[in-house]
A and B are shown apart, each in its own frame.
Chain A
Amino acid sequence: DIQMTQSPSSLSASVGDRVTITCQASQDISYYLNWYQQKPGKAPKLLIYDASNLETGVPSRFSGSGFGTDFSFTISSLQPEDIATYYCQQHDYFPWTFGQGTEVEIK
């Protein structure tokens, strides 16, 4: 299986801060990488698909980049409603696998 390693596991930032999460794949996955947001007690929500494409209806403060094995996800200006756990997911090789998640908190 392809291992997806997210960093950091958790972070605390102030409202308005720029927040970046990284995701590293154990082998080349091209751009087959999605990002999801999961709030407590809720299902994950698709934010970014194919590494850098913003899902319809998702605020533009969310963005993604990367190719191959190294990817990043950025919130340009953290908002209180962004408190959640964020997951990367590869869809290049079966089984699809997720990163372990990054919990984002407000400082």
Chain B
Amino acid sequence: QVQVQESGPGLVKPSETLSLTCTVSGGSISDYYWTWIRQPAGKGLEWIGRIFSTGTTNYNPSLKSRVTMSVDTSKRQVSLRLSSVVAADTAVYFCARERIAVSGTSALDFWGQGILVIVSS
């Protein structure tokens, strides 16, 4: 069974860079997209972007100037960096596996439990 686990600092100061890691176990990291999604308290889900195991990325245009994703297949890890954070970036951040069917359709089938990141001085 695939397991996904987010890790990183729970508190980040304004203007600094949020850095999170997603570690995958129980399954291959290759041949899948790995997606970051966030959820402010009491609110809905926002897609941040995704990275394929080869390093190909797609980012949400609303965050693109501040987002960087990377993958380390040897460590089975995916990383998210979000620069110049502000209070509005406070949220639970989820990492999820995106499976892609032969037809090209996709679904987020395995999720981490999420990690709360608070932006505050």
Contacts and interface: CB of A to CB of B under 8 A. Distances in A.
A binds B: yes
Nearest to B98: A91
B46 to A, nearest CB: 8
Nearest to B64: A95
The secondary-structure label for the interface of chain A is loop
A9 to B, nearest CB: 11
A95 B108 contact: no
Interface residues of B, number: 23
A96 B112 contact: no
A42 B94 CA distance: 10
Interface in B73-121: 94, 96, 101, 105-109, 111-114
B17 interface: no
Interface string A3-38: 000000000000000000000000000011010100
